[in-house]
Structure 1
């Protein structure tokens, strides 16, 4: 079993990934929670099931090229479920849907995004399998789903949610934003002329946080010096998406800038605040 998993791991490490995808998608998909860490004990009752899925996805030629065979009309770019895996054992469960893009002419972009999705699902299965093999009295739920949040003739924004629940829960959301006409990956820094956007957007988010807390005492954000790790600035590649009406929305994982009960938090940035910093108005208006 271990040799097969090692072989699969080596195969993934040898898959050529374009530099931009490696630096943006990989970092986004595998970003670790800043505040909440879930500790899992290695465990093997479900290792065989995990290996079966992994082997099917990675070593079966039909499965590997399934997305290229999905019929599309007029080069419609869409998101489909590549695979769904469900398993329950004692107090542990996993339910993971793996999304995949279909319909791009730019097959390099399409295939590498799909490989990243599959790799992420593999890691979730392996995490569950290890926990199931030894932690028989423990509790762990892993759930992952996806949703197309924006789908216009020009834009496609896809959100993938990953939720893990052990002693407590943790949810993170990751977005892929694509220019459907030019078939390119849209990154946050590609929207702007220079890095001034980091400070401007961060300041606007702080102002929104303060207004929300003033209007609703139940809302709390970590922005004061008294907080253990106050929010100071967004990351240059902060998670984001673009709405159907071309507005920029910045997203934070659960526990990233607020207590867990606030969940995943989002802030729509007024276009007038960033208009002078934008490269153009194709995406953000």
Structure 2
């Protein structure tokens, strides 16, 4: 009996260890820190290395870098236009995986003195032979999504702004979680700042678009001078 328990524990350990290695080996986390008198940045971001579809892997990595460089340029430009109080830029990233569907949710925190804001973006894609980037409007019917979000907002007046919602942006950050889509809004976009970057979880049933399995042409590569 004792030997059986040891054997079972060994099997569980191997399965857990193998699962962890497989999940982590698809990407590495890169850290970047820069500090000057006018600004400082502290960024963590993933670079994918082991996706099955190499064309998608290259495009996703480029899209992630593009988003970071855009924020970095904005911070440097703002610092150049003002003197005295430095800009602080922090970037945190979470990678969600639902079967072959990946979502890289990137939250940018930018502050200067007592002014502070957070914005969220995401890079969403399918790996595998039919790999492709999936913007929000290609995943769900936007008119149905807007009705679902409006219903949530109206049902909770203590949390959400009731009169300023003008619809879900096409580039609203999101990720998939089992049979639901989770929207991640910018700070102050749908709720007071105390709620940070609020999330809404909405069932996909009756809302999800169907996609033919097709390959996209490879995307030309380029080298980034900023995040090397």
Alignment TM-score, normalising by the size of structure 1: 0.57
Select the residue among 153, 166, 183 that pairs with 1:232: 166
Match for residue 127 of structure 2?
180
Q: How far does residue 235 in structure 1 lie from its aligned partner after superposition?
A: 2.9
Distance 1:118 1:232, change over 3 A: closer
Q: In 1, Cα distance between the equivalents of 2:62 and 2:209?
A: 31
Would you say 1:212 and 2:143 are equivalent positions? no
Q: How far does residue 198 in structure 1 lie from its aligned partner after superposition?
A: 2.0
Distance 1:151 1:232, change over 3 A: same
Q: In 1, Cα distance between the equivalents of 2:88 and 2:111?
A: 5
Q: How far does residue 133 in structure 1 lie from its aligned partner after superposition?
A: 5.7
Match for residue 41 of structure 1?
none
Select the residue among 38, 54, 58 that pairs with 1:111: 58
CA contact (8 A) 2:56 2:132 kept: yes
Q: In 1, Cα distance between the equivalents of 2:138 and 2:80?
A: 44
Distance 1:139 1:85, change over 3 A: closer
Select the residue among 165, 174, 184 that pairs with 1:251: 184
Q: How many residues align?
A: 190
Gaps of 5+ in 2: 1-20, 214-228
Q: How far does residue 159 in structure 1 lie from its aligned partner after superposition?
A: 1.0
Q: In 2, Cα distance between the equivalents of 1:201 and 1:128?
A: 33
Distance 1:267 1:82, change over 3 A: same
CA contact (8 A) 2:64 2:123 kept: no
Distance 1:134 1:203, change over 3 A: closer
Gaps of 5+ in 1: 1-72, 225-229
CA contact (8 A) 1:154 1:180 kept: yes
Q: How far does residue 162 in structure 1 lie from its aligned partner after superposition?
A: 0.6
Match for residue 278 of structure 1?
209
Would you say 1:241 and 2:187 are equivalent positions? no
Would you say 1:161 and 2:95 are equivalent positions? no
1:1-285 to structure 2, matched below 5 A, reads: 78-87=26-35, 89=37, 92-132=39-79, 135-148=82-95, 150-166=96-112, 167-181=114-128, 182-192=130-140, 197-213=141-157, 217=158, 219-221=159-161, 223-224=162-163, 230-243=164-177, 245-272=178-205, 274-275=206-207, 278-279=209-210
Task: Give deviations 1:90-147, integer Å, cap 9, x for gaps.
Answer: 7x43212243222124333222222232233334444444555674411421111211
The structure in which a higher percent of residues are helix is: 1
Match for residue 14 of structure 1?
none
Task: Give deviations 1:128-174, integer Å, cap 9, x for gaps.
Answer: 445556744114211112111x2244222221111101242111111
Which secondary structure state, in structure 1, belongs to the residue aligned with residue 169 of structure 2? Answer: coil
How big is the alpha-carbon RMSD for the aligned residues of Structure 1 and Structure 2? 3.0
The structure in which a higher percent of residues are strand is: 2
